[in-house]
Amino acid sequence: MKKFFKIFGITLGSLVGLVLVVLCIALWLVFTPERLTPIVRSQVEKYVPCPTHIGRVELTFFSSFPRFELQIDQVAALNPQAQAECGDTLVRADRLQAAVDVKAFLQHRELRLSGIRLLDGRVCAYVDGAGRANFDLFPPSPDEPEADDDGGLPFGLIDVSTIELRNIDLSYIDRQSGMEATVRGLCAVADASLRPMDSLTVHLATEPFAVAYADSSLTAEVRGLAPDLSVALQGNRVQAGLHIQPQAVSLAYAGDAYLTDAEVGLDLQAVADLSRLSAQVEQLALSFNGLSLGIQGKASLDTVRGEVHTDLTYRLDLPQVQRLLASVPAAFHEYVDGIEAAGSLTAQGTVQGVYNDSTMPAVTAQVQLDGVSAACPDLLPFPLKQVDGNLAAYVNLQRDDTTFLQIDRLAVRTPQSRIALSGRADRLLSDPHADLTADADLHLPELAPFVPDSMNVTMAGRLKARVAARASLSQVEQMALEQIKASASLQFKDLAVAYDTLSLKTNDTRITLSLPNPNARTKHTGFAAAGIEADQLDVALGTGMQAALQGLNLDVETSDVRDTTRIPAVNLRLGLGFAQAGMDSMSVQIEQPEVAVSVAPQRRNAGQPRFSVKVGSGKLNADLGTDRVQADLLDVAATVFYNKNQEDIFLRWMPRGAFHLQQGVAHLAALPYPVELPQVKMDFTPRTFEIEQAGVHLGASDFNLAGKLDNILPFFRGDSILRGDFAFTSAHTDIDQLMALTSGLGSEEETAEDDATEAPAAPPAAEETPADTAAYTGPYMVPQGIDLTLHTDIAEASFNQNLITDVDGDVRVANGTLALEELTFTTPGSDIQLTAMYQTPRRNHLFVGLDFHMMKVEIADLLHMIPDLDSIMPMLRSFDGTGEFHLAAETNLDSLYNLKMSTLRGAASIRGEDLKLVDGETFAEIARMLRFKNRQKENQVDSLTAEFTVFRNEIDVYPFLIAIDRYKAVVGGRHNLDMSFDYNISLVESPLPFRASVEVSGNLDDMKFRLARAKYPDFYRPAARYEVKNKQQELRDLIKRSLVANVANKEE
């Protein structure tokens, strides 16, 4: 055995030695460069159809054992016919090396090449303007039969383990298209292996080199390009990897630089299935000036259906927004001039679904903004700082109902303001519906630049706002507010706004808006609500007008007021702690004013509105310059029913409510005394107006009115008369003071009336012409169809320095008649009863009547109170004492209140006891003529009973008996309204032997006395009494009975 190994060793060593010797001889003696170079040159010339240059060819074995390595120096392919920048060189290299694994080739028919190296070379491809290329070395031969290519390889394996290019320049120049591309200093190492039909691996690693491209308009340059490419093909499975480190890319188009040294990188790891036309992207990372885009996932192509199936995720990182902004080409700088931005942005999401002509895959995105800041003076007057946000979106073109944008948070800050937005928007592609909430803290002066300078508006203060809204785009476009849900809460702090001369200031004001109204007080006011709360609100207009409101609280809720087919429902409540307003010299101060106004459909008639108003206040003080009004309490509450179908304005507005005033005082410049209203309380309905209490203090007078006005609504409908019953009470009424107070009021009207009075009476026929009606306001016309009664109860009244007490009676307006009914009162000189009547059947035919009774009246007081009586019955001046006086008179008046003398009627009765004659001059003349025994200036008259009547301009004094001295005389006669008279004093009992009489005629300025035959000789004479009674005495009794009848009625 040992021998065997010895022999085998010696044999093997001999063989190896022999081979080595053969190789040495072949390499050093046979395959020397000098022998090998010509061989290669000749073989190249056979296969290469262009001129070539081969400098030196060397074959090595030991240095590349076990492979043979061929090294060719100074190799070049030439195209001498070409005229180009490339010259005649198509390809040139200083050295070309390659190694072949001879053993693999011999044993396995595998072509394993390694160490292929091309050093310091240059490739220049050129196409001239005629389209001739210098690399077109193999013109096609149509006669050459196609090679029998079965698709297989002559080797079981082609393995190119290493291909190395070092310092290679590549140029491609196309003068026809004006394109020029160059690669400088390419250094690359590639490994590749190929097995027939099922396996191929390629790996290409390069060192940084430069690539340039240029054509007529586009120039591009990439410096430091060093791609690392690996491809592995295993059957239908291809695994590829490409990594390109970020390098400087420059791009210019039409002279404009779009990229300048932009950092662009690429990293791709993917696996593709060629049979399924699908690819799994394990990583695709693109970078551009700090912007990175990463994609992972799977995509496949369905050639049958012509669609692409995607299931990808992506992530976009922009850590420095300012770098992206800086990448904007110079050609577009004008669009971003002045814009500054910084911060980071991240977006990630998925792309899933089918892409074809009609469908798009669904896309999700999650966007995050961190610390982004931006400034664009042209768009915003202030920079945006610290923009942070987190947003999510889902877009599916096939199902828009699933599409949404979710804003988890989007916050923006300005130098002094802050805005945050959150919410969600759905159906982005059809009718976007948003549910958004915004919170803002705004520094209002920052917003001032948004207001046009022409408005001259200045603002100060802060606004804190929270606004939430749920609405779709179609709802907003159609202003379908009934479908929109929105709310807002605004809080103004230290607000100061000035617009021209109008200014507004408030320390703390809150404004709320709700759409719809979540807390509706009625079922109709759920549409919207608004509220304002302010601790202090100051408003001024110029320097003349200002208002200050404290504790403002305003609430408004409403139905949809845009719906014109329905009556809107609105509730408004305004409350204030204190309100003050002033304008020039006028000012108003109100404590705790409250106003509540509501509008709603009527319950029984939804087509008509119902208005409710409540106004109340505490202390009120209004200074109106010359006038001043005060009150401790004011409450007004009213509900008004509106009926548009009624023509009469009163029937259109049906009020119901109450009025309450306490301690009201009005200081009026026209009155020297304040008008005090201690208590005014009244209720009113469409049917009844009831005054519970209405007190007035004016100077020395006080009044109180209470009562009820009824049948108001039926009256205006024409169904019934208006009935009123009021009680007017007064502890004291100073009539003199009231007349003095009211004297001169409305003097302009009175002047006009005076002028009209002085003018000649208008012809009756023309009184009711439209022109006269317009020019002349006419007399007071007593309204028809009403029955109003005012029961007066005045404890005492002072008039003309007389004190009138126990004034009791009724003032009544009924059926066109204004009447004082049996008004009784007491003066120091008499108990008086007065009934007066005023009727207005037509404008130029008025009626006034008087029924006047004075009991136990001093004659002097009577004349003092009724001075006109002296004209009618002048002899009364001659009497002194106490008597009764009864008077009834009536007449018609024209429209100017002138007497119609033809209608004047009157009757009076005077009864006196223990009277005295006091008129010295008249009495003296009568006494002298009748030879009175006692001619003293005061003569006792036992009794006096006289009646007189007025008929037109005639005053008839019926014969009456008076007893003076030793005489009894009957006095009678006529007194005319022109103050002329004709009296006869007939002696019926005297010492004289004949029946003498005295006639007194003429007028008061020119009295004539003369003795005459007795006109009434038998009057009051017992013998003739019966006869007399049948004539004049009956008439006197008739007059007297009719006059005192009313007194009797009163007593009853």
Partner 1 sequence: MKKTFLYVLAVIAAALCLTSCQKEEPTFDEALLIGKWQEVGTQVFYTYASDYTGKTWDEADDVTEAEAQPFEWSLVQSTLTQIHIMEMGSNVPKTYTVTQLTSSKLVYEDDFGKEFSFNKVN
Q: Which residues bind partner 1 (CB under 8 A)?
A: 764, 767, 835, 837, 841, 844-845, 847, 849-851, 888-890, 892, 894, 900-903, 905-907, 949-951, 956, 973-974, 982, 1031, 1035, 1038-1039, 1042-1043, 1045-1046
Q: How far apart are CA 183 and CA 968, in angstroms?
A: 166
For the bound state, the minimum distance from the C-beta of residue 644 to partner 1, rounded and expressed in Å, comes to 42
Is 1016:1033 a contact under the CB 8 Å cutoff? no
The 3-state DSSP class for residue 317 equals strand
867: part of which helix (H) or strand (E)? none
Name the phi and psi angles at 714, rounded to 5.
Answer: -60, -30
Nearer to partner 1 among residue 89 and residue 895 (C-beta): 895
For the bound state, the minimum distance from the C-beta of residue 1023 to partner 1, rounded and expressed in Å, comes to 16
DSSP 685: -
876: part of which helix (H) or strand (E)? none
For the bound state, the minimum distance from the C-beta of residue 970 to partner 1, rounded and expressed in Å, comes to 13
For the bound state, the minimum distance from the C-beta of residue 999 to partner 1, rounded and expressed in Å, comes to 11
Nearer to partner 1 among residue 725 and residue 999 (C-beta): 999
Q: How far apart are CA 238 and CA 273, in angstroms?
A: 6
Q: Is 338 exposed, middle or buried (0-12, 13-18, 19+ CB in 10 A)?
A: exposed
Q: How far apart are CA 69 and CA 528, in angstroms?
A: 94
Is 408:390 a contact under the CB 8 Å cutoff? yes
Nearer to partner 1 among residue 389 and residue 849 (C-beta): 849
| Bridge partners of residue 526, in order along the sequence | none
Q: How far apart are CA 848 and CA 820, in angstroms?
A: 11
Nearer to partner 1 among residue 62 and residue 994 (C-beta): 994
Q: How far apart are CA 469 and CA 488, in angstroms?
A: 8
Nearer to partner 1 among residue 780 and residue 951 (C-beta): 951
| Bridge partners of residue 763, in order along the sequence | none
Nearer to partner 1 among residue 851 and residue 965 (C-beta): 851
Closest C-alpha to 1001, from 968, 1017, 979, 977: 979
Residue reference for tokens 């601790």: 535
For the bound state, the minimum distance from the C-beta of residue 1046 to partner 1, rounded and expressed in Å, comes to 6
Is 417:443 a contact under the CB 8 Å cutoff? yes
Nearer to partner 1 among residue 629 and residue 1039 (C-beta): 1039
How far the first Cα of the chain sits from its last, in Å, is: 182
For the bound state, the minimum distance from the C-beta of residue 961 to partner 1, rounded and expressed in Å, comes to 18
Q: How far apart are CA 511 and CA 72, in angstroms?
A: 92
Nearer to partner 1 among residue 569 and residue 820 (C-beta): 820
Instruction: Count the helix, strand and coil residues of the chain and give each as a percent rounded to the nearest 5.
Output: 15, 55, 25
For the bound state, the minimum distance from the C-beta of residue 839 to partner 1, rounded and expressed in Å, comes to 8
For the bound state, the minimum distance from the C-beta of residue 987 to partner 1, rounded and expressed in Å, comes to 16
The 3-state DSSP class for residue 591 equals strand
For the bound state, the minimum distance from the C-beta of residue 775 to partner 1, rounded and expressed in Å, comes to 19
Nearer to partner 1 among residue 797 and residue 888 (C-beta): 888
Largest CA distance in the chain: 229
CA 704 to centroid of chain Cα atoms: 47
Q: How far apart are CA 366 and CA 435, in angstroms?
A: 18
SS3 for 737-797, per residue? HHHHHHCCCCHHHHHHHHHHHHCCCCCHHHCCCHHHHHHCCCCCCCCCCEEEEEEEEEEEE
For the bound state, the minimum distance from the C-beta of residue 639 to partner 1, rounded and expressed in Å, comes to 45
Nearer to partner 1 among residue 461 and residue 849 (C-beta): 849
Nearer to partner 1 among residue 522 and residue 902 (C-beta): 902
Nearer to partner 1 among residue 744 and residue 760 (C-beta): 760
Is 779:895 a contact under the CB 8 Å cutoff? yes
Whole-Å CA distances, 136 to 46, 90, 101, 128, 181: 17, 10, 33, 12, 18
Residue reference for tokens 């005394």: 673
For the bound state, the minimum distance from the C-beta of residue 611 to partner 1, rounded and expressed in Å, comes to 47
Is 839:850 a contact under the CB 8 Å cutoff? no
Nearer to partner 1 among residue 388 and residue 822 (C-beta): 822
For the bound state, the minimum distance from the C-beta of residue 985 to partner 1, rounded and expressed in Å, comes to 15
For the bound state, the minimum distance from the C-beta of residue 908 to partner 1, rounded and expressed in Å, comes to 9
For the bound state, the minimum distance from the C-beta of residue 1037 to partner 1, rounded and expressed in Å, comes to 10
Q: Which two tokens stand for residue 555?
A: 């609430």
The 3-state DSSP class for residue 864 equals helix
For the bound state, the minimum distance from the C-beta of residue 905 to partner 1, rounded and expressed in Å, comes to 5
Nearer to partner 1 among residue 288 and residue 958 (C-beta): 958
Q: Which two tokens stand for residue 73?
A: 């120096």
For the bound state, the minimum distance from the C-beta of residue 861 to partner 1, rounded and expressed in Å, comes to 23
The 3-state DSSP class for residue 1047 equals helix
| Number of H-type helices and E-type strands within the chain | 17, 54
Closest C-alpha to 959, from 877, 859, 1031, 858: 1031
Nearer to partner 1 among residue 837 and residue 866 (C-beta): 837
For the bound state, the minimum distance from the C-beta of residue 1048 to partner 1, rounded and expressed in Å, comes to 11
For the bound state, the minimum distance from the C-beta of residue 1003 to partner 1, rounded and expressed in Å, comes to 15
Nearer to partner 1 among residue 979 and residue 1045 (C-beta): 1045
Nearer to partner 1 among residue 708 and residue 900 (C-beta): 900
Nearer to partner 1 among residue 291 and residue 1043 (C-beta): 1043
Q: How far apart are CA 795 and CA 732, in angstroms?
A: 6
| Residue 583: other Cβ atoms inside 10 A | 15
Q: Which two tokens stand for residue 1023?
A: 């013998």
